[in-house]
A and B are shown apart, each in its own frame.
Chain A
Amino acid sequence: MAGLELLSEQGFRLDGRRAGELRQLRARMGVFAQADGSAYLEQGNTKALAVVYGPHELRGSRGKAPHAQALVNCQYSMATFSTAERKRRPHGDRASAEMSLHLKQTFEAALLTRLFPRSQIDIYVQILQADGGNYCAAVNAATLALLDAGIPMRDYVCACSAGFLEDTALADLNYVEEAAGGPQLALALLPQAQHIALLELNARLHQDHLPRVLDAATQACRHLHALLDRVVREHLRDAAALLGK
């Protein structure tokens, strides 16, 4: 049997997208009343829930906490039912720990942490359904949750993955495309300033190809920015309308 044809001669991917197209994005802010900020986001079939608390006083040991800025505490987990086979440990495994660290680095770069010395910001993200681009969905959901919480940031953080296949850069990989094993790049971008918050590449990719893949990821992030911005504005309009009543 022939393997899957990830990109057809006519330029279509398995799910019908063209190389540079994103999966459908849907998002809602303020899904939990108790939290300071929360958001639910779907990127295709990847579904993420983000909850933000803070800034609040430091909890736990103060030894490691930085003095001049807020401590960003991130916790990433995956629901047991998020993948095709049930996961044994929803969080605390190595992959989740690594992902938590990545999220921490990403948001430390974007949050204006110096405004809140000796305090703490908690970001909890859970992947409810995993279909590729988990990190990216987590970042995008967390961004919305942070905005919902009203925590000052330099800019939106938009994240998107990109892969490279048959000399073509593919944006926003889904699970099947990720599983094929080609190089995959995850980019978290502050779109207006074009600052990179995090860039990760999981397989060898020749430097000659890097600009093209990076470009595809950047384009995708910009596109995501527009989409997220619309979600935020709609949310504000709805909130304002409620207040107006």
Chain B
Amino acid sequence: MLTSRTFLKRTRAGAVRKIVREHYLRDDIGCGLGGCALCGGESRPALEARPGGAASSLCPGPHFLLPDTNLLLHQIDILEDPVITNVIILQTVLQEVRNRSAPVYKRIKDVINKQEKHFYSFTNEHHKDTYIEQEKGENSNDRNDRAIRVAVKWYSEHLQKLQMEEKVQIILLTNDRKNKEKAVEEGITAYTCEEYIKSLIANPELVDRLASLNDEGNEIETGRIIFAEHLPLSKLQQGIKSNLYLQGTFRANRENYLEATVWIHGDGEEKEIIIQGLRNLNRAVHEDIVAVELLPKAAWAAPSSVVLHDDENQNEDDVEQEEEKEKSLRTSSSNSMLRPTGRVVGIIKRNWRPFCGMLSKSQIKEARRHLFTPADRRIPRIRIETRQASTLEGQRIIVAIDGWPRNSRYPNGHFVKNLGAAGDKETETEVLLLEHDVPHQPFSQSVLSFLPKMPWSITDQDMKCREDLRHLCVCSVDPPGCTDIDDALHCRVLENGNLEVGVHIADVSHFIRPGNALDQESAKRGTTVYLCEKRIDMVPELLSSNLCSLRSNVDRLAFSCIWEMNHSAEILKTRFTKSVINSKASLTYAEAQMKIDSPSMNDDITTSLRGLNKLARILKKCRIDNGALTLSSPEVRFHMDSETHDPIDLQTKELKETNSMVEEFMLLANISVAQKIYDEFSEHALLRKHPAPPPSNYDILVKAAKSKGLEIKTDSAKALADSLDSAEFPSFPYLNTLLRILATRCMMQAVYFCSGMDNDFHHYGLASPIYTHFTSPIRRYADIIVHRLLAVAIGADCTYPDLTDKHKLADLCRNLNYRHKMAQYAQRASVAFHTQLFFKSKGVVNEEAYILFVRKNAIVVLIPKYGLEGTVFFEEKDKPKPTLLYNDEVPSLTVESTTFYTFDRVTVNIMLDASNVQHQKIRMALVEPKLVGTSVPSQATQLNSNNEPKKKKLKE
């Protein structure tokens, strides 16, 4: 089996070391062809013996395709198309892709796993006939290109030996001119991707999806050079080491396309460098990792406050005009405002993703090149080539960037996908998912392959290390319509008179094993995202809504946290166990409340609930006495029309006592588990902390309360909680809620972290010294890790290397925090969109509102009826500006003769502003109190399409 071996010598950075590795070359690697007589037939043939595939005018006969690395990296959109089948992916190519782009690697792996695509990955580097050594003077790229050609030759000879009736060709696809020339010299049929795709007879639309790539080196120099050359990576790294350049993340300015900041990730200290002007920005795109050179102090600039959007209808590379604008940035800035300013000298890593947006059709009728305007203002416009411009007009489309040549004002890209008409509900949902980077593709075959086979039942194997708790009277309490039930509870009186309380959490980590595709996908998604009428699951539905969901009257695997408590809710004993439960009832909060409240009911479930409720009250009191905060945020729910799924009404979520009952035990379980995993794994426990906000955060709250004659103390969480409790205003009962909403805004974000990487564990909001997430593993990945840690701690499951690697855990936390933040934004965007739909159908309305914040030129109001927040501006472009007087101390804003304070009651006029198709928004205007000149009359007015109020932010 082991034919021969060779030695590979490698050196690593730092000291030169000679590393000798064995390499066994094999003769038992099959060609992947169904029923191949020479290879003894694959167990799962990937390639069709008689390859179908699209008819091509270049090679009319049956053929296999073999792409090289760059082609795979850049044209993955093409390869994913169902038209392209029977492709051989070499190990050489796959490995290079893996090193160069994780997203593309994942995509190609998914394609390979799709049987109907007939992709075969050929392990050429271990094959005795296709492995080659790097020759002297040959760089690794050339070596890999040669390896690819050798493999192609091997395949053609192999196919010839098979003597099939119909000759099957093998075609090398490469966009590299030199490689192609060499291939043709060696007698290999090679085409560029463009040649091949254009030759496809029946599929002209594929051409649009071609990445427009011209080799950097072979670029035809047309037009004049706009940008300075990017320095090669090696030079950049040298420069960074010698402090000549700085490395950082490029962040484009949302309001000004000619300005950006680069966040320098130095050792400990973080600083920002301003980049101004097209040439200095030098083709960097938002989120790229770039190298920056600082300009001399004389050339430093101040962050400009000008709003500049690149949406004039210019189609030409009109650089002079840009220079004019750049000048406008520099004028009038005092020396104290100057900040370090620099220019981009090179790109260390591109972070391009596919972008959503709309086509700005070229005015030239027959033009094929058009500009695409991304929805995200931080992304430059992209030039694409398409023949379907008229069909794509008014549609939301996705475009990928392919490159940005030095002579082009805009980057070049290609059309990827049409999402549908702008304004359409499904399209917009898709857009907001894409823009918030929420992974929402259907789960791939390789992910689904790790699901348990149905019909599923609990086996004896599953019962190992598991307690049978099916006899307990367990029930779940959730919001109505909940299908992913994470948690269930029970409470019973023990023989010694104490109470036993159990929290049972779906045992998701039983089904999701570490490291497999299912696990990786869930880890990547990080959280389930709940939109107004859609849920994007973190785990496939079979798990989320069935096998893991703790539904009533079925046996389900659970992870239980069981306490023995006395009647004053003091914990006497805590124990954790994997278990099997059989929930006796799935209740809604209202149903549970009704059971507790009706004296006639005395069944087991009700007794259990009453016991829980009683304990929960005590627990809550203790917690609040300890200084936990009860904050408020207006939560909104839409009533959807059951047929059209349009929002017909909004309501704020109502909280029942049972809500807080369930919450109380979840908190308790989370704290108990946090303590346990931290005791067991002090270095790599996944915990959650909530830092105390810096005192200055509270200024706005304290000042606002003062203006109403109330005092809010903020020296500790306890003082804050107490003063919020006592802040009552008899004539204004809603004031307390407003104060709590405002207090919420002063808080910091709670985050996941790895215990070995941090010292501060405190959870400020809950007033707990330690906290984690254990209770929702169906919808949060953090909980899955916590389950795994706990399972190892109690000896119910095994550990794996990544679980005990604190750096990997810290990376994971970073991703989870990011995903949670994005999910939250996506949720808000979804609420915002549905609010727009709602007001679209409702027309213009006047509603009562309260002022939450006073700004320099506007007030931010909250409309309690809809839980909707909006900004009322007092300046409009084409109208005379009213005199504004802002007082920071109180805070208040005087407009002409009317003064606005925080918490004032006003009436506003709400309507949908659809003047910009890509950025629709709710517009608010003041009705009461009346202002001279600015207040709108109560009836609807025609909107002026020039109005461009600032983007409104909607918060829950």
Q: Which of A32-40, A49-57, A65-73, A204-212 contacts B (4 or more CB under 8 A)?
A: A204-212
The reply to whether A131 and B121 contact each other, CB–CB distance below 8 Å, is no
Query: Which chain B positions have C-beta within 8 A of A205?
Result: 798
Chain A 49-85, CB within 8 Å of chain B: the 1/0 string? 0000000000000000000000000000000000011
Query: Which chain A positions have C-beta within 8 A of B24?
Result: 15-17, 21, 23-24
The reply to whether B797 and A167 contact each other, CB–CB distance below 8 Å, is no
The reply to whether A12 and B22 contact each other, CB–CB distance below 8 Å, is no
A1 to B23, CA, bound (A): 22
A176 to B126, CA, bound (A): 17
The reply to whether B464 and A208 contact each other, CB–CB distance below 8 Å, is yes
For B461, the closest partner residue in chain A by CB is A208
A15 to B121, CA, bound (A): 17
B121 to A: closest C-beta gap in Å: 6
Complex interface residues of chain A between 6 and 31 (CB less than 8 A to chain B): 8-10, 12, 14-17, 21, 23-24
Query: Which chain A positions have C-beta within 8 A of B105?
Result: 2
The reply to whether A16 and B121 contact each other, CB–CB distance below 8 Å, is no
A45 to B18, CA, bound (A): 13
The reply to whether A180 and B801 contact each other, CB–CB distance below 8 Å, is yes
B20 at the A/B interface (Cβ < 8 Å)?
A: yes
Chain B 779-815, CB within 8 Å of chain A: the 1/0 string? 0000000000000100001111100010000000000
Query: Which chain B positions have C-beta within 8 A of A166?
Result: 515-516
B759 at the A/B interface (Cβ < 8 Å)?
A: no
Query: Which chain A positions have C-beta within 8 A of B799?
Result: 203-204, 206
The reply to whether B22 and A23 contact each other, CB–CB distance below 8 Å, is yes
B26 at the A/B interface (Cβ < 8 Å)?
A: yes
Query: Which chain A positions have C-beta within 8 A of B22?
Result: 15, 23-24, 44-45, 131, 174
A10 to B20, CA, bound (A): 24
The reply to whether A16 and B102 contact each other, CB–CB distance below 8 Å, is no
The reply to whether B99 and A1 contact each other, CB–CB distance below 8 Å, is yes
A14 to B21, CA, bound (A): 9
The reply to whether B19 and A204 contact each other, CB–CB distance below 8 Å, is no
For A180, the closest partner residue in chain B by CB is B801
Query: Which chain A positions have C-beta within 8 A of B800?
Result: 182
A152 at the A/B interface (Cβ < 8 Å)?
A: no
Query: Which chain B positions have C-beta within 8 A of A182?
Result: 800-801
Interface size on B, residues (CB 8 A): 37
The reply to whether B21 and A176 contact each other, CB–CB distance below 8 Å, is yes
B444 to A: closest C-beta gap in Å: 13
The reply to whether A208 and B91 contact each other, CB–CB distance below 8 Å, is no
B855 at the A/B interface (Cβ < 8 Å)?
A: no
A173 to B: closest C-beta gap in Å: 12
For B128, the closest partner residue in chain A by CB is A16
For B5, the closest partner residue in chain A by CB is A24
> Is chain A's binding surface mostly helix, strand, loop or mixed?
loop
A75 to B: closest C-beta gap in Å: 26
The reply to whether B516 and A204 contact each other, CB–CB distance below 8 Å, is no
Query: Which chain A positions have C-beta within 8 A of B21?
Result: 14-15, 45, 174, 176
The reply to whether B516 and A167 contact each other, CB–CB distance below 8 Å, is yes
B768 to A: closest C-beta gap in Å: 30
Chain B 114-136, CB within 8 Å of chain A: the 1/0 string? 00000001010110000000000
Q: With a 10 A CB-CB cut-off, give which of B24, B125, B792 has the most chain A CB atoms.
A: B24
A38 to B24, CA, bound (A): 29
A181 at the A/B interface (Cβ < 8 Å)?
A: yes
- 8 Å CB contact of A16 from B126, B464, B516: B126
A45 to B130, CA, bound (A): 24
B944 to A: closest C-beta gap in Å: 54
A5 at the A/B interface (Cβ < 8 Å)?
A: yes
For A85, the closest partner residue in chain B by CB is B17
Q: With a 10 A CB-CB cut-off, give which of B2, B17, B800 has the most chain A CB atoms.
A: B800
For A166, the closest partner residue in chain B by CB is B515
The reply to whether B123 and A12 contact each other, CB–CB distance below 8 Å, is yes
The reply to whether A2 and B102 contact each other, CB–CB distance below 8 Å, is yes
A85 to B17, CA, bound (A): 7
B762 at the A/B interface (Cβ < 8 Å)?
A: no
- 8 Å CB contact of B798 from A84, A85, A209: A209
B537 to A: closest C-beta gap in Å: 24
For B32, the closest partner residue in chain A by CB is A10
Chain B 86-106, CB within 8 Å of chain A: the 1/0 string? 000001000100110010010
Query: Which chain A positions have C-beta within 8 A of B121?
Result: 9-10
Query: Which chain B positions have C-beta within 8 A of A1?
Result: 99
A226 to B: closest C-beta gap in Å: 14
The reply to whether B513 and A21 contact each other, CB–CB distance below 8 Å, is no
A84 to B20, CA, bound (A): 9
Query: Which chain B positions have C-beta within 8 A of A24?
Result: 2, 5, 22, 24
Query: Which chain A positions have C-beta within 8 A of B99?
Result: 1-2
A132 to B750, CA, bound (A): 44
The reply to whether A131 and B91 contact each other, CB–CB distance below 8 Å, is no
- 8 Å CB contact of A204 from B20, B515, B798, B805: B798
The reply to whether B17 and A84 contact each other, CB–CB distance below 8 Å, is yes
The reply to whether A16 and B23 contact each other, CB–CB distance below 8 Å, is yes
For A10, the closest partner residue in chain B by CB is B123
B669 to A: closest C-beta gap in Å: 24
A206 to B24, CA, bound (A): 31
The reply to whether B801 and A181 contact each other, CB–CB distance below 8 Å, is yes
For A129, the closest partner residue in chain B by CB is B20
The reply to whether B98 and A84 contact each other, CB–CB distance below 8 Å, is no
For B1, the closest partner residue in chain A by CB is A21
Q: With a 10 A CB-CB cut-off, give which of A10, A17, A23, A207 has the most chain B CB atoms.
A: A10
A131 to B22, CA, bound (A): 9
A85 to B95, CA, bound (A): 28
A8-B123, A204-B792 given as contacts; is B798 within 8 A of A15 (CB)? no
A181 to B2, CA, bound (A): 26
A177 to B: closest C-beta gap in Å: 11
B109 at the A/B interface (Cβ < 8 Å)?
A: yes
B332 to A: closest C-beta gap in Å: 46
Query: Which chain A positions have C-beta within 8 A of B15?
Result: 85
For B121, the closest partner residue in chain A by CB is A10
For A5, the closest partner residue in chain B by CB is B98
B389 at the A/B interface (Cβ < 8 Å)?
A: no
- 8 Å CB contact of B20 from A21, A85, A131: A131
A207 to B: closest C-beta gap in Å: 8
- 8 Å CB contact of A84 from B1, B18, B95, B109: B18
Query: Which chain A positions have C-beta within 8 A of B126?
Result: 12, 16
A9-B121, A166-B515 given as contacts; is B798 within 8 A of A16 (CB)? no
**Shortest 8 CB-CB contacts between residues of A and residues of B:** A206-B798, A16-B126, A16-B24, A84-B17, A204-B799, A15-B22, A181-B801, A10-B123
- Given contact pairs A45-B20, A174-B22, a sample of 16 additional A-B residue pairs in the complex whose CB atoms are under 8 Å apart: A8-B91, A8-B123, A9-B109, A15-B21, A15-B24, A16-B23, A16-B126, A21-B1, A23-B22, A24-B24, A45-B21, A84-B19, A176-B21, A205-B798, A206-B797, A206-B799
Could you tell me which A residues sit within 8 Å of B by CB distance? 1-2, 5, 8-10, 12, 14-17, 21, 23-24, 44-45, 84-85, 131, 166-167, 174, 176, 180-182, 203-209
Could you show 19 A-B contacts with beta carbons less than 8 Å apart?
A2-B98, A8-B91, A9-B121, A10-B91, A10-B123, A15-B22, A15-B23, A16-B26, A16-B125, A21-B24, A24-B5, A84-B17, A131-B20, A167-B515, A174-B21, A176-B21, A203-B799, A204-B799, A208-B464
